[in-house]
Amino acid sequence: MTTSGISRRGALRMLGIGALGAAGVGALGACAPSGAGVASNGGDPKSKNFDFTSWSLNEEAAKPSIEKIIAAWEKAEKSKIRAVSYPYNEYLSQLTLKLGGGETTGAVHLDIAWLAAMAQMGKLVDVGSAAGRGGYTDVALKSGVYDGKQYGLPWNTGSIGVIANAKLLEKAGIKEHPATVEEFEAALRELKGLGGGVVPYAAATKVAQLKDIFPWMQTFGCALYDDGKVTIGDDASVDAVVWYKKLHDARLIAADVDRFDARALFGQGKAAFYDDAIIGKGVTSAQSKDKTLADAMQPMERPVLTAGDTPQAMLWGGVIAIVKGKGQEAATEFALHATTDEATTSEYFAARALPPSTTAGLAAPAVAKDTFTTEWTRKITKTATGSPFWQFAQSAQIDEAVAKQVQAVLVGTSKPKDAMKRAGEEVAALIKR
């Protein structure tokens, strides 16, 4: 779950350009295909003692909540859990090396964008039978699946979607959230008329965050990757970028904006819409001088091209995977408890505002009373999907390749059709590596 400013691209870079590199994740996976017959860490699967590895144990805000879950389990089960952690910006590289070397055991916390790369190493347990006992939502279950197998038990399931500022919408006379792309563009023009330096939509325009264009490409009808073929470069992807360029030229979106810039603009009351994960409300409102901003922040379904279409959103969250070998049975039960026990998930939500992944957890009083989370889950996470490129070790490079071509269009150095053709070709070449 990408909760810090370090993206998956940054984490992959930590693998080392000259040493292992992003391709090295795939290479490690290629050495040990997923499935039976792969050597585990060599320990006793029935051991009650195991490790739990999580970047959150390295974060001051998250550590106490997780340590409480661990302590409760140890007391109840008379077992010992060794807590292991690395800083987020080193986590993927460290975990890849430790897992490849057989040094990682037990339960492992993973960003859903990393699951495929880890599963390809052949060291993870298929936890499908445990997942069947969890009562997880359908979208949460899918976040833990790779190549048809359940490799992760979903811990917190959310999405990246659009957040609206009700104050600015009211000021511009916009009474309802725009439901279609046409209505959205009209609303942006109304908001532009407010003046005062308002950026109607603080959309990503820096390469670092321009992968936010993917849900808009999907909105316009581009599958991105379908049946083994990269579809970026088709008419739908070109139409999406043409539209994005139109917003840019009309100053309905601004140049050189990433997630941090967008949060700042929104927090200053200078943006009516921006894209963020569900944690955006807490992060952005905490940074704002306007202490009433949180009450004005509303989750909004991404506008669709045609009424009746499914709103697009990028899945976001974390899962707990289990490593084959020492303590795998107890670690599986621990992961199931941490992610499904209603009292545990409610307390964790109260401390961290991360939505549970089960139907019962979402319906628990502590969660259900949080209108923002409830509305976000219903409006945005319900139809969210993971990136089709997460299955490739080169997914971070794929994001960057497309982002650079979109930015070239925005700054006027490339035409949309030419840029998307090049983007598609570059992505296809990366996948073949």
Q: How confident is the model at residue 34 (pLDDT cuts 50, 70, 90)?
A: very low
Domain match, 185 and 293 both = yes
Domain match, 120 and 226 both = no
Residue 223 within any structural domain of the chain: yes
Note the maximum CA span of the chain: 67
- State the SS3 of the chain: CCCCCCCHHHHHHCCHHHHHHHHHHHHHHHHCCCCCCCCCCCCCCCCCCEEEECHHHHCCCCHHHHHHHHHHHHHHHCCCEEEECCCHHHHHHHHHHHHHCCCCCCEEEEEHHHHHHHHCCCCECCCHHHHCCCCECHHHHHHCEECCEECCEEEEEEEEEEEEEHHHHHHCCCCCCCCEHHHHHHHHHHHHCCCCCCEEEECCCCHHHHHHHHHHHHHCCCCCEECCEECCCCHHHHHHHHHHHHHHHCCCCCCCCCHHHHHHHHHCCCEEEEEEECCHHHHHHHHCCCCCHHHHEEEECCCECCCCCCCCCEEEEEEEEEECCCCHHHHHHHHHHHHHCHHHHHHHHHHHCCCCCEHHHHHCHHHHCCHHHHHHHHHCHHHCECCCCCCCCCHHHHHHHHHHHHHHHHCCCCCHHHHHHHHHHHHHHHHHC
Domain match, 281 and 348 both = no
Residue 402 sits in a domain whose CATH number is 3.40.190.10
Q: Is the pLDDT of residue 346 over 50?
A: yes
Domain match, 137 and 173 both = no
Domain match, 285 and 418 both = yes
Q: Is the pLDDT of residue 38 over 50?
A: no
User: How far is the C-alpha of 111 from the C-alpha of 386, rounded, in Å?
Assistant: 12
Report the domain count for the chain. 2
Q: Is the pLDDT of residue 220 over 80?
A: yes
Domain match, 282 and 416 both = yes
- Structure tokens that stand for 125 in this block: 């347990």
Average pLDDT over residues 336-350: 97
Q: What is the pTM of this model?
A: 0.87
Q: How confident is the model at residue 433 (pLDDT cuts 50, 70, 90)?
A: confident
Residue 349 within any structural domain of the chain: yes
Tell me what pLDDT residue 219 has.
98
Q: Is the pLDDT of residue 117 over 70?
A: yes
Average pLDDT over residues 309-336: 97
Residue 55 within any structural domain of the chain: yes
Pick the range with the lowest mean pLDDT from 25-34, 168-177, 227-236, 404-413.
Answer: 25-34
Tell me what pLDDT residue 43 has.
86
Tell me what pLDDT residue 393 has.
82
The answer for 427, left when phi > 0, alpha when psi is -120 to 50, beta otherwise, is alpha
Domain match, 357 and 285 both = no
Average pLDDT over residues 341-363: 96
Tell me what pLDDT residue 41 has.
65
Domain match, 214 and 280 both = yes
Percentage with pLDDT > 90 across the chain: 88
Percentage with pLDDT > 70 across the chain: 90
Q: How confident is the model at residue 324 (pLDDT cuts 50, 70, 90)?
A: very high
Domain match, 229 and 372 both = no
User: How far is the C-alpha of 234 from the C-alpha of 416, rounded, in Å?
Assistant: 11
Residue 365 within any structural domain of the chain: yes
Tell me what pLDDT residue 7 has.
37
pLDDT tens-digit readout, 179-216: 999 999 999 999 999 999 999 999 999 999 999 999 99
95, 53 contact by CB (below 8 A):
yes
Residue 285 within any structural domain of the chain: yes
User: How far is the C-alpha of 80 from the C-alpha of 341, rounded, in Å?
Assistant: 20
152, 144 contact by CB (below 8 A):
yes
Q: Which residue has the tokens 């894209």?
A: 275
Domain match, 279 and 424 both = yes
pLDDT tens-digit readout, 262-302: 999 999 999 999 999 999 999 999 999 999 999 999 999 99
Domain match, 371 and 404 both = no
Residue 3 within any structural domain of the chain: no
Last residue of a domain, one of 351, 368, 383: 383
Residue 352 within any structural domain of the chain: yes
Domain match, 28 and 122 both = yes
Residue 1 within any structural domain of the chain: no
- Residue 399 structural domain: 161-313+389-432
pLDDT tens-digit readout, 66-106: 999 999 999 999 999 999 999 998 999 999 999 999 999 99
